[in-house]
């Protein structure tokens, strides 16, 4: 009798305890790469500390593989809700840094979330930040500039 009661109770558990599992994921889609050389480095910042020039202070970092059509995609998973800003570098020579010319202008592609650009230098965190609710997939498309 006890076994029958337990089996009956367990058969109803999925109906009463099921709920949607939050995605907690941000998908970064990078477009307009000028070629398929090297790799695409992405730094995801949760606040302005280290943004955008100190990737070692990023909340998360990743490397995206370049796919056909000169695009790249990287998914960051298990992210809490909050404001984030993404910084992207097309590291064409795979030396893990932004190469610049003799006057300090970037020689490799770069981009920021919200596709914002700064006037004299990179845009601030508040301009590049976007809200991730944590309960659905956030898709961010970033167009690179060279």
Residue ranges per structural domain of the chain: 23-143
Domain 23-143 sits in CATH at 2.60.40.10
pTM, two decimal places: 0.83
Return the CA Rg of the chain: 21
The torsion of the CA quartet 32, 29, 90, 66, rounded to 10 degrees, works out to -90
Q: How far apart are CA 35 and CA 108, in angstroms?
A: 11
| Lowest mean pLDDT segment, chosen from 3-12, 84-93, 104-113, 137-146 | 3-12
**Percent of the chain's residues with pLDDT above 70:** 84
> For 25-74, how does the pLDDT look when each residue is reduced to its tens digit (9 = 90+)?
999 999 999 999 999 999 999 999 999 999 999 999 999 989 888 999 99
For the chain, what is the mean pLDDT?
A: 88
pLDDT average, residue stretch 116-144:
95
């Amino acid at each position: 009798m006890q076994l029958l009661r337990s089996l009956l109770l367990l058969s109803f558990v999925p109906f009463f305890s099921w709920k949607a599992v939050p995605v907690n994921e941000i998908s970064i889609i990078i477009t307009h790469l000028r070629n398929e050389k090297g790799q695409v480095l992405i730094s995801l910042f949760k606040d302005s500390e280290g943004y955008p020039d100190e990737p070692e202070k990023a909340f998360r970092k990743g490397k995206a593989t370049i796919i056909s059509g000169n695009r790249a995609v990287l998914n960051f998973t298990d992210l809490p809700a909050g404001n984030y800003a993404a910084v992207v570098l097309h590291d064409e020579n795979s030396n893990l840094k932004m190469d610049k010319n003799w006057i300090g202008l970037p020689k490799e592609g770069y981009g920021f979330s919200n596709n914002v650009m700064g006037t004299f230098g990179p845009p601030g965190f508040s301009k590049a930040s976007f809200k991730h609710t944590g309960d659905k997939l956030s898709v961010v498309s970033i167009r690179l500039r060279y």
